[in-house]
Structure 1
Amino acid sequence: MFHKLIPLSFLLLLFASCSNNTSLPKEGEPVLFAEHIAPIIHANCSKCHNSQGAAPFQLITYKDVASKSKLVAYVTSNRIMPPWPADPEYTHFANETYLTNEQISLLNRWVNEGCLPGDTASLETPTILEKKWQSSEPDLIVRMQKPIRVPGNNTDLFMVVKIPFELPKDTFIRAIEFVPGNKRLVHHVNAHIIQFEPSKKSNLFDGNFLVNQDQTKSTTIHKELNLLNDDGSYAPMTPSVCNYLPGAQFSFYPKEIGGYKIGRKNAFYLNDMHFGPSAVDEIDSSYFKIYFGSEPPKRPVSEFQIGTLGLVPVEPKLEVKANEVKTFHITFPVPQDISILTLVPHMHLIGKSFWAYAIKPSGDTIRLIRINNWDFRWQYFYQPKTLLKIPRGSVIYVEGVYDNRAENPNNPFSPPRVIAERNGSMKTTDEMFQLIVTYIPWKKGDEAISME
């Protein structure tokens, strides 16, 4: 069986996805915003481009989109946006966010024909649309005790954070959503829940609520954050209840999959909260949304991680010399039948491409994911359209290419210098190579369970 591991999980979406369901004008008729362009924009782009979204400007009304029409045409034609790193010609995923050539042509034609409005009076109002794009109302919001201050010193900041909370009774949790307060700075978060027996923990809120990960020994973190029971023993921890990465979008798993049983006294334990470099002092007030369940979890979710900090290492050792392009591999035999829920590829700045697949005992290939042009800014939790079975005895192969040349615009150093995996360092200027897999033990019929 697998051991549960802590996965590595900056949401600054400029353009969101566009649906592949496109309404086309009849022959000889012009392209109109209301009839042809709005469905694309509203289906996906506006999910982030609204008054509550992460994007820097709104794209909902005709006026919104027409005023940005040349920009929209440019970034879509050059496939800068929407940001969907995975190669759609290799594997398809649930809720894919890429534009077809047909959609790009339609957008350009609309711009070239003068951005005609069409029957905009028939469109839903921004208020109605925004309600559709918002996630479900949570049952509980758990906030930090105080904002986190991020110094403007242009260096990465790694914190360990405690966010305690109490409930009136034991209950079940269906899902947990992390909401970054400062979307520009929060890079990744790994969150766990520590559960305390009421008789063994008198006060959850004593102690520090955060410590600097780089300056604190792991053996003292629990003491400084007051995460031990009153007698000094460790309380049980449920790992990886919620994780966050650049580009991450919250979604519920299918019914009966995932969830947790939880007691009255608890604390979110963020053992790794990473803030990217900032030139000015800033603050962050991230929080969690909790969605309760009505029944115990029937199929708990597990995770494993391969490569850096994982079950199997990167081969050869992850080190790229200055002005070198180098390929690395991860090989992992799957010890049981599993159904994959989520794939999370991870590299840092000089990552060039990422390719993962599995070979079944029969010799057949299961395509997992291929990213031809890795972009550190856009990292996703990729979910297959239906649960994906990987049989016991299959071998997962991962290939990563790294480009440490001066010509690489993402190279953090000029001139280039040696970049390597350094004792599990998560600094963006060091490197990592990982595949994180969320799964459940396979059951007959899993392949028919939709993830969309």
Structure 2
Amino acid sequence: MPPWKPRPGFGHFQDDLRLSDEELSLLRDWLESDLPRGDVASEPEAPRYAGGWELGRPDLVLTMPERVSIPAEGRDLYWYFVIPSGLKTDRMISAIEFRPGNSRVIHHASFRYDDTGTARRLDAADPRPGYRRYGGWGFGGGGTLGGWAVGVQPRHLGPGLGRPIKAGSDFVLQVHYHPSGRPEADQSRLGLYFVPEATGTSESITPVVEILVGEMSLEIPAGEPNLHHPAVYTLPVPVTVHSVLPHMHLLGRRCRAWAETPAGQQVPLVAIDEWDFHWHSQYHLEQPLRLPAGTRLIHEAWYDNSVANPFNPHSPPRHVTWGEGTDQEMGLLFLDVTTDSPTDRRRLIQHNQGHFLDQFRRLTGGR
């Protein structure tokens, strides 16, 4: 059973995997009674595990154009693969299931669509499959479609929700590869599940927007056992929050996120007291959370860059800064939200992207 990481009582989520007090008591009694077998007549069937796509047969399968080679050593690679969607009409996506071709070298994957043709041009200009770059996708059009990290399980968005993708656009898959110490290869796939067209009109389906909270000015000195790093993002428009996903790397030890409304109300979002990089998960709120414009979204992270951290990628510890590499660090909170209008949606996307672009410019001296 996958571990359930959120702190009890700090936010309420669907599909809570924790055992109840009654279940724990039953297990203790069973253990203390020398593990007797129960009533055979009421024995449940053995579970059946999905051998292929976890969400069933996809409506559209997209595969990396060709198998790529990842060297045994060297820096992490950010590789972008452009896959024509072939869509004849605009669609709403209910779910995307990522099937890693080689989980030994994939740190995470992110999804986006491009309707400007820019990604195709970047692909054509790079003699290798796809294109490689650091610091962004290389295009500003289209829209985000979510992502995957170790431990994240695929699932459908809630009723009446979808991620829009335009007809004729290209699906762009960003894969973060981390060399494993030996030559590797990968050719990953994705399964797209659409909102049924009978209900998939723009009038009946609300588009989901992914926003981020994070602060890129992160410095973790070598040997520091408990660095505290806060981040704040202020909402420019009212939103409804549907899910949250915290993200750190190997130095992360715990994190906490909450919302502070203009009236001063503090609303817990999620807290994880024992962070495990290998158990990322997207937590879907039990009830959608309405937040007014001006609400501050606050994410706090704590890091252990000492020899006592068994997950520390450096021995001895080194000074670590913000970065996308597995041996660097991050502290992010991803939120899936909806807005009241298309105008608010566009404003939120521009504002959130601008917030991180300003941080990037400060860190790079305005470049």
Q: TM-score range by the shorter chain?
A: 0.7 to 0.9
Give the letter for the 1:269 counterpart. Answer: V
Deviations 1:118-150 (A, max 9, x none): 4278633655x6499941321121112212222
2:153 — aligned with what?
249
Give the letter for the 1:301 counterpart. Answer: V
Give the letter for the 2:292 counterpart. Answer: P
Conserved? CA contact 1:156–1:427, under 8 Å? yes
CA distance in 2, matches of 1:119, 1:392: 57
Structure 1 residues 102 and 157 mapped into 2: Cα distance closer, same or farther (>3 Å)?
Answer: farther
Helix, strand or coil for the counterpart of 2:207?
Answer: coil
1:116 — aligned with what?
37
Shift of 1:171: 4.5
The number of residues matched between the two structures is 329
Say if 2:177 is the partner of 1:258: no
CA distance in 2, matches of 1:242, 1:435: 13
1:154-165 matches, cutoff 5 A: 156-165=76-85
Identity of aligned residues (%): 28
Structure 1 residues 108 and 283 mapped into 2: Cα distance closer, same or farther (>3 Å)?
Answer: farther
Structure 1 residues 428 and 131 mapped into 2: Cα distance closer, same or farther (>3 Å)?
Answer: closer
Conserved? CA contact 2:162–2:206, under 8 Å? yes
Say if 2:159 is the partner of 1:238: no
Give the letter for the 2:166 counterpart. Answer: I
Conserved? CA contact 1:154–1:278, under 8 Å? no
1:318 — aligned with what?
218
2:89 — aligned with what?
170
Conserved? CA contact 1:155–1:278, under 8 Å? no
Deviations 1:337-380 (A, max 9, x none): 11012212111111121111112222221111111111111111
Give the letter for the 2:14 counterpart. Answer: A
2:170 — aligned with what?
267
1:91 — aligned with what?
11
Say if 2:191 is the partner of 1:289: yes
2:267 — aligned with what?
366
The equivalent position to 2:299 in structure 1, one of 376, 398, 401, is 398
Structure 1 residues 132 and 148 mapped into 2: Cα distance closer, same or farther (>3 Å)?
Answer: closer
1:50 — aligned with what?
none
2:339 — aligned with what?
441
Structure 1 residues 409 and 151 mapped into 2: Cα distance closer, same or farther (>3 Å)?
Answer: same
CA distance in 1, matches of 2:124, 2:233: 42
Structure 1 residues 281 and 208 mapped into 2: Cα distance closer, same or farther (>3 Å)?
Answer: closer
Shift of 1:385: 0.9
Structure 1 residues 126 and 347 mapped into 2: Cα distance closer, same or farther (>3 Å)?
Answer: closer
1:75 — aligned with what?
none
Shift of 1:243: 0.9
**TM-score between both structures, scaled by the size of structure 2:** 0.78
Deviations 1:265-288 (A, max 9, x none): 332212x31123313323222111
**TM-score between both structures, scaled by the size of structure 1:** 0.65
Give the letter for the 2:339 counterpart. Answer: P
Give the letter for the 1:94 counterpart. Answer: Q
Structure 1 residues 210 and 338 mapped into 2: Cα distance closer, same or farther (>3 Å)?
Answer: same
CA distance in 1, matches of 2:75, 2:129: 22
Instruction: Name the larger-Rg structure.
Output: 1
Gaps of 5+ in 2: 342-367
Structure 1 residues 279 and 106 mapped into 2: Cα distance closer, same or farther (>3 Å)?
Answer: farther
Give the letter for the 2:40 counterpart. Answer: D
Bigger mean CA offset, 337-346 vs 169-178: 169-178
Give the letter for the 2:35 counterpart. Answer: G
Say if 2:233 is the partner of 1:332: yes
Structure 1 residues 114 and 140 mapped into 2: Cα distance closer, same or farther (>3 Å)?
Answer: same
Helix, strand or coil for the counterpart of 1:106?
Answer: helix
CA distance in 1, matches of 2:73, 2:186: 16
1:280 — aligned with what?
182
1:305 — aligned with what?
212
Deviations 1:173-227 (A, max 9, x none): 3333322222343221111112379xxx9xx99975323436xx97xx97xxxxx
1:376 — aligned with what?
277
2:251 — aligned with what?
350
Say if 2:326 is the partner of 1:428: yes
CA distance in 1, matches of 2:90, 2:210: 23
Conserved? CA contact 1:163–1:209, under 8 Å? no
Gaps of 5+ in 1: 1-14, 17-82, 223-233, 308-312, 444-452
CA distance in 2, matches of 1:351, 1:196: 37
